A and B are shown apart, each in its own frame.
Chain A
Amino acid sequence: MHAENEKNSKIIEFAALGLMVPIITFGIYVIAHGHLTPGGGFQGGAIMATAFALLFVSLGKKAIESIKGEVLVALECIALIGFIGIAFLGMGNTFFFNFLANSGVLFGEKVPFGPNSGIFSSAGVIPLMNFFVGLEVCCGLTLIFFLIFKGAD
């Protein structure tokens, strides 16, 4: 972290802000293709959290003051409510039933047996669960970085 009387270097700020965009895009790619390529919710969420860690380390106090902890907590809770809500929606049969697979509605195309080039709109409930878990992990890890950098009042 910088001392109080040292100006923040413009190059570091510019580079950090510029690097955030590819990192977050890559994280969203890993989360969205979790049912086709290796990766998924937890891994993509961790990648997105490193972008925010880069932001905190390079920008210092400006970043800490412009993010509010309450928004992150609310986003995390909404993500988890979405995850457990999807599990509840299959309650017609049982608790975690994959009601969208093989059904043709949202993510429900059938997948032929054996190796194939992947079909994006397959796998039912799994891409939705990936999205919610990714959002939850990103917000959770960012909140931990934020609290530790801010310190106790």
Chain B
Amino acid sequence: MKQLKLVFFSIFAFFFVFAMLMLRPFGSPQRTSMDHYIIENSQKEAACNNVVSAVVFDYRGFDTLGESTVLFAAVSGVFLLFRRK
């Protein structure tokens, strides 16, 4: 059984390394239309100097709501576990 696990894992590792070698080099993305649009227009539309904050709270604000909900759900779960009998 251990041999079978090792065989499957090495097949997966071989494909993994092969796929990673075929990625584009770091720092030269292929299509940048969405990123380019955000950098050009963030000061005009969102009126914000910090483009990262504009992306986190304006262009993709829904994901930030989701992450805050994850924190709330985790704290709620811990509170449920530690309540009195």
Contact, chains A and B (beta carbon distance below 8 A)? yes
Q: How far is the CB of B68 from chain A (nearest CB, A)?
A: 6
Question: A48 an interface residue at 8 Å Cβ cutoff?
Answer: no
Query: Given A126-B54, A136-B71, A144-B75, are A111 and B48 neighbors across the interface (CB < 8 Å)?
Result: yes
Asked if B56 and A87 sit within 8 Å, CB to CB, the answer is no
- Chain B stretch 29-48: residues in CB contact (< 8 A) with chain A: 43-48
Query: Given A87-B61, A96-B61, are A35 and B48 neighbors across the interface (CB < 8 Å)?
Result: yes
Query: Given A83-B68, A98-B58, are A36 and B44 neighbors across the interface (CB < 8 Å)?
Result: no
Q: How many A-B residue pairs have CB under 8 A?
A: 109
Identify 6 new A-B residue pairs, CB closer than 8 A, beyond the known A37-B50, A83-B68, A129-B57. A114-B43, A123-B48, A125-B58, A126-B46, A126-B57, A144-B78
Question: B49 an interface residue at 8 Å Cβ cutoff?
Answer: yes
What are the residues of chain A within 8 A of B84 when measuring CB–CB? 153
What are the residues of chain A within 8 A of B10 when measuring CB–CB? none
The chain B residues found within 8 Å of chain A, CB to CB, are: 43-50, 52-54, 56-58, 61-62, 64-65, 67-69, 71-72, 74-75, 78-79, 82, 84-85
User: Pick the contact of A130 from B49, B57, B71, B74 — CB < 8 Å?
Assistant: B57
Question: A22 an interface residue at 8 Å Cβ cutoff?
Answer: no
The chain A residues found within 8 Å of chain B, CB to CB, are: 34-38, 40, 42, 69, 73, 76, 80, 83-84, 87, 95-96, 98, 101-102, 108-114, 116, 118-119, 122-126, 129-130, 133, 136-137, 140, 143-144, 147-148, 150-153
What are the residues of chain A within 8 A of B85 when measuring CB–CB? 153
Asked if B47 and A111 sit within 8 Å, CB to CB, the answer is yes
What are the residues of chain A within 8 A of B45 when measuring CB–CB? 98, 101
